[in-house]
Amino acid sequence: MDPARGRGDRPEDDFESIIADWREEGSVPDWPGERTEPAEPSVQPGERPVHRPGPSAETEDDDHYHPPEPPPLPRPGPPAVVGGGLIGLGLVLCISPGLIGAGGSWPLPLGLVLMAAGLAWLVLRLWTGEPGDGGPDPHDDGSRL
C-alpha cells in the first residue's frame, strides 16, 4: 500500500493522480461545462504549442464550400416514353389486369410480352450504329480520329 495515499496532498486513486499530473502540465482540454480562465501559457520559447481540439474562435461560417444547385433533369424523348409505356402497361397487365377491364388467362402472357418489348426497345436504342455500317468491326476499339 502507498504510504502517501491517506495524505491530503495526494489524490485517492491512480486516475485522479493522472489527471492531476495532466493539469499541472497545462494541456488539459476544457470540457463544455468547465469553462475556466486560461492559465499562463506553459509553452517555453522554442517549444511547440499544445494543440487544443475543437473549433477555434477564428473560424467563420463563410469558409465552407457551398456546391451549386444541380441541373434540372432532362426531359425524356418520345422513344423513351414509348419504351416506358410498354413496360408500364405490361406491369399493369401482369399485376392487376382488372384495372383495364381485362379478364381471363391472356393478360399475363401479353403483359410479359409487352414488358420484354419495352425493355428491348430501350436497350436497342442504346446501340448507335452509323447508316451504311455493315455491323460492328471486330478490329474497331471504339476510338475515332
* CA atoms within a 13 Å half-sphere pointing along the CA-CB vector of 58: 0
C-alpha cell at 48: 511547440
Q: Assign 3-class secondary structure to the chain.
A: CCCCCCCCCCCCCHHHHHHHHHHHHCCCCCCCCCCCCCCCCCCCCCCCCCCCCCCCCCCCHHHCCCCCCCCCCCCCCHHHHHHHHHHHHHHHHHHCHHHHCCCCCCHHHHHHHHHHHHHHHHHHHHCCCCCCCCCCCCCCCCCCC
- Using the predicted structure, report yes or no on whether residue 29 has a pLDDT greater than 80: no
Residue 83 structural domain: 78-126
Q: Is the pLDDT of residue 50 over 60?
A: yes
Task: For residue 72, tell me if it sits in a domain.
Answer: no
Of 76, 78, 80, the residue nearest 124 (C-alpha)? 80
Q: Is the residue at 86 inside a domain?
A: yes
Q: Is the pTM above the cut of 0.85?
A: no
Q: Is residue 14 part of a domain?
A: no
Specify the number of domains making up the chain: 1
Per-residue pLDDT tens for 79-94? 999 999 999 999 999 9
Task: Quote the mean pLDDT of the chain.
Answer: 75
Evaluate whether residue 141 is within a structural domain.
Answer: no
pLDDT: which is higher, 121 or 128: 121
Q: Considering the domain boundaries, does residue 118 fall inside one?
A: yes
CA nearest to 89, candidates 64, 119, 61? 119
- Residue 1 predicted with pLDDT over 50: no
| Residue 26 within any structural domain of the chain | no
Q: Which three cell numbers stand for residue 27?
A: 494541456
Q: Which of 25-29, 34-38, 64-68, 137-141 has the highest mean pLDDT?
A: 64-68
Residue 138 resides in a domain: no
